[in-house]
Homo-oligomer: A and B are copies of this chain.
Amino acid sequence: MTAPLLALLDGTLADVTAPLVRADDLGVVRGDGVFDAALVRVGADGAPLVRDRQAHLDRLERSAEILHLPEPDRAGFERAIDALVAAWDFDAQPEALVRLVLTRGPESGGDPTAFALMAPLAASVVAERERGVAITLLGRGHDGDEVAAMPWLLPGAKSLSYSINMAAKRHAVRHGFDDVVFVAPSGRLLEGPTSTLVVDRGGALLTPSQDGILASITLEHLMRDAPGAGLEVAFAPLEPDDLRTADGAWLLSSGRLVAHVTSVDGEPLPRSPLDAEVRRILDV
């Protein structure tokens, strides 16, 4: 993978290969911080566009609030994003992911650590928009609605403690799958490690209730614009069989945007008749 560009909150670029973070930063030693990530690419008017920029900054603020971190320096993150977008070579890399990071800072005291990274969207990720993903269902160990009532479990926050999400994805790849959907002990479908599930059941678009799972900005976009196209997206309790017998399904995320589910634990899933419409709504 190409090294990303790095920007500080004063709007200057820094060398990403030079160390930036202290060894005793709580973001390093405790995964104690938050992040968010948005897609950047050239829009219809030829100018680069940070997709849902304000929604991502809003969610970063919400995540910080859930972790009782100081309020993110929004103007600083805006400056960092602007610096990265201005420096990016969109001819060479037409799509990039900008990631905003805020940690609690050094354990022995000091200011929070904050920076923004911008990296090319991997070609393999872009390809999944067209070829879809073979998924496996993996237990998540807990129920979303239960966790939603336990703020100390940080439901709804995009924390830096993503090692389980990463491990689940590695587990899937080692077993020949592309991605994961987590299942609660109750049998309810939850979300992917870095994505949100939407299922087509007879023309109705359904997505797991977001209690205790991360609010998806791509899903918000779909929910907002689907009615204009005569479609509706509803929250619903979904179980594995609802997915296996669906007319199609997708994983939504901010970078990949959409990938249709081609199979569930090896059983093929059809491509939804609404697939083209969903992509149009999401402006893929």
CB-defined interface of A92-132 with B at 8 Å, one 1/0 digit per residue?
00000001010100111100000101010000000000000
In the docked arrangement, what's the CA distance between A190 and B248, Å?
Answer: 40
With A24-B6, A101-B29 as contacts: A164 and B164 at CB distance below 8 Å:
no
Q: Hey, which chain B residues are within 8 Å of A1, CB to CB?
A: 107-109
Determine whether A45 belongs to the interface, using a CB cutoff of 8 Å to chain B.
no
Q: Are B17 and A22 in contact (CB under 8 A)?
A: yes
A105 to chain B, nearest CB (A): 12
In the docked arrangement, what's the CA distance between A122 and B142, Å?
Answer: 34
Q: Which residue of B lies closest to A180 (CB)?
A: B152
Task: Show the binding face of A for B, using Cβ within 8 Å.
Answer: 1-4, 6, 14, 16-33, 35, 67-68, 99, 101, 103, 106-109, 115, 117, 119, 138-143, 146-147, 149-154, 159-168, 170-171, 180, 185
A-B contact pairs, 16 of them (CB 8 A): A19-B20, A21-B25, A23-B115, A25-B28, A26-B166, A28-B103, A28-B160, A30-B162, A32-B163, A139-B150, A139-B153, A141-B153, A152-B171, A159-B161, A161-B161, A185-B185
Closest 4 CB pairs between A and B? Answer: A31-B31, A161-B161, A141-B142, A19-B19
